[in-house]
Amino acid sequence: MEIKKFGVIGSGQMGNGIAQVAAASGLEVLMSDIKEEFTAKGIENITKNLARSVSKGKLEQLQMDTTLSRIKTTVDLKDMADVDFVVEAAVEREDLKFKIFEDLDAICPAHAILSTNTSSIPIGRIAARTGRPDKIIGMHFMNPVPVMKLVEVIKGLATSEETFEITWELSKKFGKTPAEANDFPGFIANRILMPMINEAVFCLYQSVGKPEDIDTVMKLGMNHPMGPLALADLIGLDTCLAIMETLYDGFKDSKYRPCPLLRKYVETGWLGRKSGKGFYDYSR
């Protein structure tokens, strides 16, 4: 199946990044969100990212203009009626994703593949909400999408081999390196990453070290490019908490219990970079 029109549900940090790489690869892109102010912000972020590449000499102005011209926006999900492939990149809430997939299943053409950028929710659980479980797959991009090379491709039990192969090849078309993961909570990336972040939060919670020292140990001692607490702030503490809860609910293993301090920060509205404060202060 040839993919010509590509849909993205959500224009936030992940959604606009996915839209950018899809448009840069030559696809016609339709980016959807619930409010025009959100889609406008998404286009603004894409424009800034591309302009930065132009200023650094990594991209020609014509390439930037062409990429932007391929992206259209909408606040009406029904406009997805003629797409060939969709990536859902809404917030990490199971009920919201279920509703989106139920709607997309009714709106999108029968041949369309519906994928999710979920960080941890089992693909089979999402597929069960549709009448096309063979065409449901996980396509988990890393943040920031235009920079990070990895895409986890996750098959549900009912995902067809054709759907998997199309998604795998699409990942490569986007300039990414795909990695196959089976359908378990957290898949590969977040099953490893989030418990590490959670343990770093426990170190802070139990006064083992200050945020700067915890991150310094991991950067200089383990050669990580970013410390776990700074990375949590980048991802969003609400997203980290949601993933840990999915892992805990899915495995019923105490090693996945979210740190109480992580929950307290989220309840306080300290979500990281996007709120101006998390483990670090970004308001200045």
97 is an annotated ligand-binding site residue: yes
CB 261 within 8 A of CB 227: no
209 is in an annotated binding site: no
Q: Which of 32, 119, 171, 275 is catalytic?
A: 119
Residue among 233, 163, 152 at smallest CA distance from 187: 152
Q: Is 152 a catalytic residue?
A: yes
Q: Which of 28, 88, 152, 245 is catalytic?
A: 152
**Contact indicator for 143, 235 with CB cutoff of 8 Å:** yes
Determine whether the annotation assigns residue 11 to a binding site.
Answer: yes
Q: Would you say 226 is a known binding-site residue? A: no
Confirm whether residue 105 is marked as ligand binding. Answer: no
Residue 140 is among the residues annotated as catalytic for this protein: yes
Selecting among 49, 115, 140, 171, the annotated active-site residue is 140
Count of helix runs (H) and strand runs (E) in the chain: 11, 8
190 in active site:
yes
Amino acid identity of residue 270, one-letter, is W
Q: Are 140 and 118 in contact (CB under 8 A)?
A: yes
Is 14 marked as binding a ligand?
yes
Tell whether residue 142 is among the known ligand binding residues.
no
Give the active site residue among 16, 115, 190, 198: 190
Q: Residue 55, annotated ligand binder?
A: no
Q: For 180, what's the count of Cα atoms within 13 Å in the CB-facing half-sphere? A: 11
* Crossing angle for the helix pair 260-268 and 237-251, to the nearest 10 degrees: 140
Pick out the residues of the known binding site for NAD(+): 10-15, 33, 92, 97, 119, 143, 274
**Catalytic residues, which ones?**
119, 140, 152, 190
